[in-house]
Amino acid sequence: MGLRGSIIALTVPLTLGFALRASAQEGPSAGPSVVTAEARASEGIPLVRGGPGLVASPGSREGPDDPVPVPSPAAVNPALLPGWSFVVGLPSPRPVRPVGRSDAPGTAGNGSDDGATAGEPPVQEEVWTDVWGQEKNFGLAAVEAYLGNFLPWVFNEVVPGRAALKISQISPRSWLNNLEHGWEWDDNAFQVNHFAHPFQGNIYYNAARSNGYGYWGSFLFATAGSFHWECCGETHFMSVNDWYNTAIGGAAVGEMLYRTSSMVLDNTATGSERAWREIGAFLMNPTRGFTRLVTGNASRVYANPEHPNDRIPNRLENQISFGVRKATSERRAGEITVDDGGEAHSFVDLQLVFGSLFDLERQKPFDFFTLATQVNLRQEKGLGKLQIRGNLWHKDLSLTDNSVSKLILVQDFDYENTEAFEFGGQGASLMYLKRTDRSERTSFVWNAAATWMIMGGVNSEFAILADVEGIRERLREYDFGTGLGGRVGFQFLRDGYRWIDGSYRIQHLYTLNGSNFNGRDSNHIVQMLRLRAVFPLGYRRFGAGAEYELFLRDSFFESEQFGKIEQRVPRWQIFFTWNPTRNVGN
């Protein structure tokens, strides 16, 4: 595959190697559950004296000034799945393990740690759990990830249109054939590759995330689950674009859904409130909801996570907008201009800001993230936008009385699918961020970032000529590519309310598959400008605003008969907003 093959061969091991290294550092230090003596007493667990500190029985030991990781009580009820505990890896009821001091006289077992000290009640051994009280359970996570592949296989097998393609007729022979043939590119629709596959990856990701694993360990589950589907879930050749979009996009979508479902859950609730909360979280994140049902956490009453960012952050903005938008599209090739027109239509969008970049305390991915969605009404392409930005790493650079600056590594997920253009993919950016407080009421925030689109897609007039081997389902209308770019942005805030918000982005995409058929190169330069103003209407939960966006695409083709094509898509929208939360995070 030449240069394109070299890019793939380089980025795959780099991506997985970095994730493996980070996952190796993950474990109890990633946020064990720490339960104080007061919390134990509030849950009705008796405290007895033992050694120098207090012993919570049953469960763990804890000194008054030295809290240690402890398991949440009654973590699992194996009777929920009688006879299946061994298969799915559910913990069976633990025998009580006496804990004693080897230097104490009269200790059972000739002074070993396995004996019980005379006069001390036996306690269970300590078990590490995550902040939601869930032990690491590889078996259950693996079963749920497998179900994430089994259900799509059933869909391909029974739905008439899919069954006719015979892509579900898998066997050991088809698995071996796929592995021997290696990676290819597919011709699926844009919404399938850049939206459906990341949501399928979210299933693998949350299979691990809801079973005690952190971000990086769950990312490896998404990578492995996607590979299993590509090699063994269908007779299509293994698709490299699917692997990237499912694994990397699955981590972004999966962590976003894990965090948003956490805001709905309340482990201390009971009765109908608890039932509705569990149902709501299940609908938002079915994989996590399934895990909570199987392990019994859906009905168990116990403490919520202590850190705000593990459930409801101190800074949160949830803005819903209703309005009308209009877009036009014009394409030019030499002296030929094509006006694609455009009609006005209504829309609903959601913008969620979770946490604050300036208040980050931990090196925990997605302690801050933003979510932007837009649903277009009365249009063929309903979901027009899904954008996720989440922090992976951060470093404080400066802090003064009226300003603060940080360096932040961000995971980028982009999906824009409109009647005029298609653009999206998986990426990362290194961002410099600074906030300056002009007064007690007024602040300016600006940022500059270098971006890398690891695997992206953009509409192209000649992508229909793409080299796609194996079973063809359709003619593709977009190119796959990778490339570097940049992004700048600013915000004007007054009384914690974002009045003005603007951004500019430029992204280069070197075509990996599509318009570069027969070895010819093609490149795309995408530019995106956005200006948004929202003004509060009396009571600040409501506002009115306007937004202008401009999408520019310059496509360069090596073939002389194609040359260069320019596309210009301006978009206007006016809207009313409702902000259920007033506290804005930056």
Distance of alpha carbon 139 from alpha carbon 31, whole angstroms: 21
Phi and psi dihedrals of 99, rounded to 5?
-120, 120
pLDDT digits (tens, 9 = 90+) for 323-362: 999 999 999 988 888 888 778 899 999 999 999 999 898 9
pLDDT band at 555 (very low <50, low <70, confident <90, very high): very high
For residue 10, pLDDT over 70 is answered with no
For residue 79, pLDDT over 70 is answered with no
For the chain, give the mean pLDDT: 80
For residue 273, pLDDT over 60 is answered with yes
pLDDT for the residue 497 = 82
Q: Considering only CA atoms, which of 433, 435, 394, 434 is closest in space to residue 411?
A: 394
pLDDT for the residue 202 = 97
Phi and psi dihedrals of 530, rounded to 5?
-145, 130
Alpha carbon separation from 345 to 326, 328, 351, 426 (Å, rounded): 6, 12, 19, 29
For residue 459, pLDDT over 60 is answered with yes
pLDDT for the residue 119 = 58
Alpha carbon separation from 505 to 281, 502, 525, 527, 572 (Å, rounded): 35, 10, 10, 6, 18
User: H/E element holding 399?
Assistant: strand 383-399
pLDDT for the residue 164 = 64
Q: Calculate mean pLDDT across residues 69-82.
A: 38
pLDDT for the residue 227 = 95
pLDDT band at 200 (very low <50, low <70, confident <90, very high): very high
pLDDT for the residue 105 = 34
For residue 522, pLDDT over 70 is answered with yes
Q: Which residue has the higher pLDDT, 378 or 106?
A: 378
Phi and psi dihedrals of 509, rounded to 5?
-125, 115
Distance of alpha carbon 496 from alpha carbon 476, whole angstroms: 45
Distance of alpha carbon 212 from alpha carbon 130, whole angstroms: 5
Distance of alpha carbon 61 from alpha carbon 40, whole angstroms: 11
pLDDT digits (tens, 9 = 90+) for 216-239: 999 999 999 999 989 888 888 899
pLDDT for the residue 284 = 96
pLDDT band at 292 (very low <50, low <70, confident <90, very high): very high
pLDDT for the residue 151 = 85
Buried b / exposed e along 220-245 (16+ C-beta atoms within 10 A):
bbbbbbbbbbbbbbbbbbbbbbbbbb
For residue 366, pLDDT over 60 is answered with yes
Beta strands (DSSP E) in 282-335 are: 316-327, 329-333
The pTM assigned to this predicted structure is 0.78
pLDDT for the residue 160 = 74
Collapse the DSSP code of 413 into the 3-class scheme (helix H, G, I; strand E, B; otherwise coil) and give the result: strand
Distance of alpha carbon 310 from alpha carbon 318, whole angstroms: 17
Residue 34 has what DSSP assignment? Answer: B
